[in-house]
A and B are shown apart, each in its own frame.
Chain A
Amino acid sequence: MSVTYGLTTRVATVNSHHIELLLQANGRTMNDVFSMLFGVFLILGTAVGIVVISYMVYNAYKYRETPDSEVAERERPQLGELPQGSGGGKKLAISLTISAVIVIALIAWAYIVLVDVEAGAPESEDPLEVQVEGIQFSWQYEYPNGHTTNTLRVPEDRPVTLILTSGDVFHTFGIPAYDLKADAIPGQTTETWFRPNETGTYEAQCFELCGSGHSAMESDVIVMEQEEFDQWYAETGSETNATTNNTTDGSATNNSTANDSTATTTENRLLDGPAPERQLAATTRQ
């Protein structure tokens, strides 16, 4: 597992690659973008924090009461006076302007990057589209050929578009190693994408409290070489053509039978009244 943890590693990995990214217009993934932005925010944030806090502590020390503190008692507040301020508006205005410039510049830049990311996976690279469904407490992936599984396998260096939804409660799907996260909401779909750039096994996890098994709602994400993937994918294709429903490996067999029928079941349930069977099944399982 090539995941490194910790704040320091993050900062340390801000390198020339990210500076290049700054100049380059497309092909950025969430992974690149996040590391770059996070690094810059961290450096600036730390700097601002140190400056402001030092200034604050310095002044507190400088103007501490000492036996020979000069006392201009006339200017000191009196008990019972009508509350009033002391001047200093200009100084405030200047400080505010400086901090506003820093914050707004940072955010504007972050925004430009956001627009880039939001554009989705570049169509030209023929992204692989996988439907992801969160179900208490596992993730199900459905490939274009109808194959359904609990392990996400993707080829290296090809963008992957994930289309997320939930079969029961609110979940959030995330692959920390690829700085990727999106909500999985019942009755809604959300979309996100990433570009797996190194083979290996990573972890996908749930990031929204979803019940007793939330902490363990994980699944493997396996990034494979293109050929290996093709081979695997071809096998699943022949298999699924025969039996759509039986390929679910693992626990969630009774949930969400054929995925294409989900839409209709939802509607029926709405019109026929409550008794959401699937929900009951979900709670009794565990």
Chain B
Amino acid sequence: MTEDQPRDDHEAQPDGGHTHRSLTEGATTTSTLREFFTRDHLPPMESVQRWLLTTNHKDVGILYLVTSLFFLVFGGVLALLMRIELLTPVNSVLSATGYNQTVSIHGLIMIFWFLSPFAFGFANYVVPLQIGAKDLAFPRLNALSYWLYLFSGVLLGISFFQGGSFEGGWTMYAPLNVPSYMPNIGSTTTVLALLLFVISVTMSSVNFLTTLHRMRAKGLTLLRMPLFTWSILLTVWMMLFAFAALLAALLILSSDRILGTTYFTAEGTPGSLLWTHLFWFFGHPEVYIVFFPALGAMAETFQTFTGRRLVGRKWFILAMLLVALQSFLVWMHHMFLTSINLEIKTLFMATTIGISLPFDLMVFSLIYTMVKGRIRFTTPFLFTFGGLLVFIIGGITGVFLGAVVLDYQLRGTYWVVAHFHYVMVAGVTALIGALFYWYPKITGRMYNRRLGKATFGLFFVGFNLLYFPMFIAWETPRRVFDYPAGLTPWHQLATIGGFMLGVAFLLVIWNCYWSLWHGEKVEGNPWEYATTAEWAVPSPPPLENFPGVPSYDSGSLDFLDETPEASTDGGTAVAGDQTHESGDHHDSHASPWPFFIGVAALVFFLGLSGISTGGIYPALTIVGVVFGAVSLLGFGMESFSVTEPELGERWPFEGIENGKLGVWIFLASDVVLFGAFIGSYVFLRVGYGWTDWQLVPHDPIPGLINTYILLTSSFCIVLALVAAEKNSRWGLIAGLSTTLLLGVGFLVNKGIEWVELFHEGIWLSSNVQASTFFLTTGLHALHVILGLLILLFLIPRAINGAYLDDERPVEYFGLYWHFVDIVWLFLFPLFYII
């Protein structure tokens, strides 16, 4: 076997591309278009095509980094606009709605389109290297996540040109966020852009979780994972659940905006409180989601540049774990000023203070790591050190907000603004450190050291000059452009600091750009005392990362030969067999479909934003749907091969393969999505008066019939799977087709029921009862439709004899379908009977 060597010469190229085109003679003769669609190998890095096609985690990581820095500039320009406006205590440059848009979009961009993706650039690049994986579990899905992220940002940008963007703050409080108060199309577009972003995040979470749990090198148990990887693992777990809640909130909001449902305007029922619950259930974990990767980067750089292993490593991990879990139990501290009662306030005050303590531990752990070290003040260390320093100030000022009485006064003022910038931009500072730390790894060149250090000086001074005065001028109300005149000097200082910080950011970007050509060359590892696996390979690493199979079995990193024998003592013989059956085939790294799906999504959502106003929008929607369907089909039909590693640590998911774990993880987030919908229904109904609430369907019988239909269909899919296992092609086809028919029956039955209701004049916007009924069961119906589309894809393939050797796709579909049934078992009683 030749697998112990990189398979092609071009894969040994440090940039992972093949500059020796002569090696792929066949491909060069065909037309470029055909090449684009059927390409096996990646074009070189200088080619634009490569970046449109690549599915390699390192390329995608670079794409994330570059794109997020672009959004940093975008968000930064908005920030400076505000700072200019705030030079004087009266309204000067921006209009009132202009200021509101600026503040809202600045917040949204910085949190969603800059900070998280910036961190995920590193996660993409570094995590597979650190755990010893060739790529993520689902490389094409990863590329798709990226394109959806990019195009969601484009959509956000477009919103400014549709009569103005969103004006209600990044927290998007209800009912200001509905069309009767914010009628412009641009605000709908903003909501949809965020929705698209959330879809991208969800796919990323599934991908990273599967990778992290299933693709670690032998000997790299969970507890042994490097700290940056640990921070990402916990971040993605939080993301999976938190973003599902946001997805629910945004779906409901989009429906309120486009379909006219009345969730958030339901006045007699607490519609606006519903938003705060949904949003903050997401929003508080989000605080840690944006900060954890920075924490992981701090831990890595502190270890490397102090030359000491982290003090209390296990406690550090435990502390992160505690925070990740508890982050879902503190959301109501954002609602201390609402009508919640003293008991709840007490509870949430306690959980809030409780969650601050693990952070104390982590800070101390980092500080103690320096003791007895050999500290080298390189640019990356300066930035992470500075990040920790300002984070301490951010943390202390946060304790003030946890004390409810102080929160009563500090809420809605610049105290909060100063506090969260000290925390979040501390994270940014540390991630800039990470950028310099991994820059030589990513580019094979060293950044300009002198400029790096000077930049840090400017950054640090600018940072504190910008945000510290906000503490002093804390009595300024948040999100306003006129403030008490006595505070003017502080705001002017802040503006000066803002510009210094802005210049520092530009210098960081300039340094990275300049050093691409002029930086000193770096071979492998420029950092003394770096330990993690990414430094054990060339810089930049070859396309498939490692010269052999990475393993920590001996207690430290080795690269084993990729021989079949290696798998026999691995204890995972089954997985090994599967990979080896396919013999000499190798992994794919290119696919055009993720990009096309991204474009289709952009067009589709742009169309949706204004669909009720007519004009060009309905046409755009249709184009988006058609193009999306074609692209998805292309994605599904493409043969794209990835191998699962044969050896590895997989606790606690040894027994199942990547695909199945991915489906399970996705379903877990779907549980939260439906949980949030059902929770919203219950919340509104309780607020309304549980028994006063009239059920929308007059008659439970159609619902009951549908329950039977779905149960039967679940049974059919089990039969199909059994048939596939028994190699019975016709049994399989019969099982799948019956499921399809039953699913169609379900929809027809539901359609009749709905049409009758419509005829009676009951529509989604009629009242809150109708809104919840149609939207929740509609979301379920959408899941059914999705299932049927998958069946329509599976059945023709089954007819051609697929799935008999490998019935896993049918099994995965079965899991999904059972889940959809179970959801119905909850919805039916809630909406038809009780």
Residue numbers of A with Cβ under 8 A of B are: 3, 5-8, 30, 33-34, 37-38, 41, 45, 48-49, 52-53, 55-57, 59-60, 63-65, 69, 71, 76-89, 91-92, 95-96, 99-100, 103-104, 106-107, 110-111, 113-115, 117-118, 136, 168-170, 172, 174, 176, 179-183, 185-191, 205-216, 266-267, 269-271, 273-274, 276, 279-280, 282-283
Contacts and interface: CB of A to CB of B under 8 A. Distances in A.
A63 B373 contact: yes
Contact of B374 (A55, A71, A208, A282): A71
B260 A274 contact: yes
B341 to A, nearest CB: 9
29 contacts: A5-B484, A6-B472, A8-B472, A56-B388, A56-B392, A82-B220, A82-B552, A82-B556, A83-B532, A84-B224, A86-B309, A86-B310, A88-B311, A88-B368, A92-B312, A170-B272, A172-B337, A180-B409, A182-B408, A187-B266, A191-B339, A207-B411, A212-B100, A266-B267, A269-B267, A270-B767, A274-B765, A276-B265, A283-B181
Interface string B170-189: 00011110001111000000
B767 A271 contact: yes
Contacts of A65: 374-376
A169 B530 CA distance: 54
A267 B360 contact: no
A99 B396 CA distance: 11
A188 B357 contact: no
B677 interface: no
Contacts of A207: 411-413, 477-478
Interface pairs A-B: 8 shortest CB-CB: A85-B313, A207-B412, A80-B557, A88-B311, A110-B403, A215-B480, A169-B176, A187-B267
A214 B364 contact: no
A275 to B, nearest CB: 9
A180 to B, nearest CB: 8
Nearest to A1: B484
B311 A188 contact: no
B268 A270 contact: yes
B167 A212 contact: yes
B738 interface: no
B176 A5 contact: no
A50 B284 CA distance: 28
B353 interface: yes
B243 interface: no
Contact of A208 (B385, B412, B766): B412
Contacts of A37: 403, 405-406
Contacts of B552: 82
B475 A176 contact: yes
A143 to B, nearest CB: 22
A271 B96 CA distance: 36
A208 B266 CA distance: 20
A208 B183 CA distance: 19
Contacts of A52: 363, 367, 392
Contact of B367 (A56, A169, A214): A56
B535 interface: yes
A273 B307 contact: no
B142 interface: no
B529 A283 contact: no
A181 B409 contact: yes
B273 interface: yes
Interface in B510-530: 525, 529-530
Given A34-B406, A87-B311, A190 B337 contact: yes
Given A82-B556, A103-B353, A170 B173 contact: yes
Contact of A274 (B96, B265, B303, B412): B265
B397 interface: yes
Question: Which of B266, B345, B363, B370 has the most C-beta atoms of chain A within 10 angstroms of its own C-beta?
Answer: B370
B613 interface: no
B269 interface: yes
A53 B112 CA distance: 30
A162 B552 CA distance: 66
Contacts of B816: none
B403 A41 contact: yes
Contacts of B671: none
Contacts of A81: 531, 555-557
Contact of A181 (B260, B349, B411, B471): B411
B690 interface: no
B226 A283 contact: no
Contacts of B400: 38, 41, 45
A88 B303 CA distance: 14
* Residue of A92, A106, A189 with highest tally of chain B CB at under 10 A: A92
Interface string B397-441: 101101111101101110000000000000000000000000000
Contacts of A87: 311-312
Contacts of A216: 96, 482
Contacts of B472: 6-8
B99 interface: yes
A211 B268 contact: no
Interface string B470-499: 011111011111101011000000000000
A189 B535 contact: no
Interface-centre pick from B308, B405, B555 (highest chain A CB count, 10 A): B405
Nearest to A213: B96
A79 B226 CA distance: 12
A82 B367 contact: no
B361 interface: yes
Contacts of B349: 107, 111, 114
A80 B547 CA distance: 14
Contacts of B752: none
Given A52-B392, A92-B312, A114-B405, 8 more contacts: A5-B473, A34-B409, A41-B399, A45-B396, A95-B360, A107-B402, A169-B181, A266-B268
Nearest to A166: B272
Contacts of B482: 215-216
B270 A185 contact: yes
Contacts of A282: 181
Contact of B306 (A5, A63, A71, A88): A63
